[in-house]
Structure 1
Amino acid sequence: MLKASLEYVIRSYKKPDFRFDPGISSSMLFSFAAKMLTDFSRGLRLILFLKLPRFLFLGRGVVFRHLARIQIGKWVVVGDFVTLSGLGRGKLVIGDGCRIGSFSRVVVSTTFNNLGEYIHLGDHVAIGDYSSLGGSGGLEIGANTITGQYFSVHPENHRFDDPSRPIRQQGTERYPVRIGENCWLGAKVTVLAGVSIGDNCVIGAGSLVTKDIPDNSIAVGNPARVIKGL
């Protein structure tokens, strides 16, 4: 009964074809259900901040900063010790059915003297554990895109053209990053400022993306280059 109920919920709101592996034992199911209930209870704490969570599941130690600038959809899962900060000119928007992996940072701005732009995650985006997403120049990730662990996006670059001044005093240049829909970016992929990755792309693990990638492409390497189409 528990197995059927959990499968119904997951199929209805997350994965239409989901079924538990036959090797899942009753104790594993009870442990899974207990964790879901605990994470859901943590999500209810947002009511204290005049937010109305819609089936939000929070892991341990999740940190919210500037919650008024954060918009969260329904059936969102946020892993353990994630930091979410909405400080910026725009908002941090997390679409329906998204998952943010444990120990990740999704931060629009890190300073008060030069606010960043925005971060928009489309529906059913999944970000791997230990990832770092910045929104200083603006970041948009399309629906159904998934990433591996240690994924990072940096929509700004430090300036270093004046050798008479420390780099930390020369400021930054900011450019938006767009990652399309239905992409798969492997573990330890890094995307730099100004890059646009098209829809339906695969970026190989460990790649450094410094230039635009067209739709329906497979790209690998440092710097990443297109090796074939899909």
Structure 2
Amino acid sequence: MLVRIINNLIRRIKGDQYTIDSTIGSFYLLCLIFTRAIMAIRGLLSFVKHRGLLFIGAGVILKGKSYIACGAGVTIDRGCFIDALSREGLQLGSNVSLGKRTVIECTGSLRHLGKGLIVGDNVGLGRDCFYGCAGGIEIGEDTIIGNYVSFHSENHNTKDINIPIRLQGVNHKGIQVGKNCWIGAKVTVLDGAIIGDGCIFAAGAVVKSGTYEENGIYGGIPAKLIKKR
């Protein structure tokens, strides 16, 4: 009975035929319901623009709330830090989840306002990830991002050896990730990477600037095509 009620609630929130494992105990499910209810209350009190329910975990820090827009059923898990100050802000589609202790910084320096982060529907962003969005990051719908992944859409200028690197400024190309991709754990994605739809990147890969063909499986440092799906 309890499992059926929870399944119905999840389906209403997510808008799909999500079904939890019937062997999960009632006490665990009751604790889950209580936790999610508290998270939903935090979402209501967050003053963040959102459609439907917004779930916010304990210890979440949100800066630049006026730059954040969320779809329905978005989860920002505990310990996340988000600074959304940027030209395009932070846009999270419906059913997006941010894993524990995720860090999103939309502007690297107050000298130049960053571009921001746009995430499509049904995207899972793993725990302990970092998104540096000064040059802009776009992630297509139905994409999975593993744990400990980092995105860096900014590079330091280094040409003049007579001037300290920190004083030479930065440059940006931006990062694009297509739909239905799987970015494995501990992958590093660098500025200028353009990832096609349906790509898979093996754990620990370094994705440098360049175009990655759709439905390719990539791995290594730097990431190279292993085979097509």
TM-score, normalised relative to structure 1: 0.94
Unaligned runs of 5+ in 1: none
Compared CA separation, residues 50 and 153, structure 1 to 2 (3 A): closer
Q: Give the letter aligned to residue 223 of structure 1.
A: P
Q: Assess, with a 3 A threshold, how the Cα gap between structure 1 residues 220 and 52 changes in structure 2: closer, same or farther.
A: closer
Rounded to whole Å, the distance in 2 between the matches of 1:207 and 1:52 is 34
Tell me, in whole angstroms, the C-alpha distance in 2 between the residues paired with 1:75 and 1:22: 22
Name the TM-score, length of structure 2 as normaliser. Answer: 0.94
1:166-210 per-residue CA deviation (whole Å, 9 max, x = no partner) reads 211111111111000000001011111111000011111100001
Percent pairwise identity: 35
Matched, 1:176 2:174: yes
1:87 shift after superposition: 0.8
The one of 67, 75, 78 equivalent to 1:77 is 75
Q: Distance in 2 between matches of 1:65 and 1:106?
A: 10
Which has the larger displacement, 158-167 or 64-73?
A: 158-167
Provide the residue aligned with 2:6 in structure 1: 6
Deviation at 1:156, TM superposition (A): 0.8
Q: How does 1:184-203 map to 2 (within 5 A)?
A: 184-203=182-201
- Mapping of residues 23-102 of structure 1, within 5 Å: 23-46=23-46, 49=47, 51=49, 54-102=52-100
Q: Structure 1: which amino acid aligns with 2:219?
A: V
Mapping of 1:209-228 within 5 angstroms? 209-210=207-208, 211-228=210-227
8 Å contact 1:118–1:138 — kept in the other structure?
yes
Farther-moved stretch of structure 1 (173-182 vs 156-165): 156-165
| Closer/same/farther in 2, CA of residues 169 and 100 from structure 1, 3 Å limit | same
3-state SS of paired residue (2:211): coil
Matched residue, 1:229: 228
Given that 1:44 and 1:53 are in contact with CA atoms closer than 8 Å, whether structure 2 keeps it comes out as: no
**For the aligned residues, what is the CA RMSD?**
1.5
Say which SS state the counterpart of residue 212 (structure 1) adopts: strand
How far, CA to CA, are the matches of 2:40 and 2:126 in structure 1? 20
Deviations 1:88-144, CA, capped at 9 Å, x for gaps = 122210111100011011221032111111210001111000101121111100001
For residues 128 and 223 of structure 1, do their structure 2 counterparts lie closer, same or farther at Cα, with a shift above 3 Å needed? same
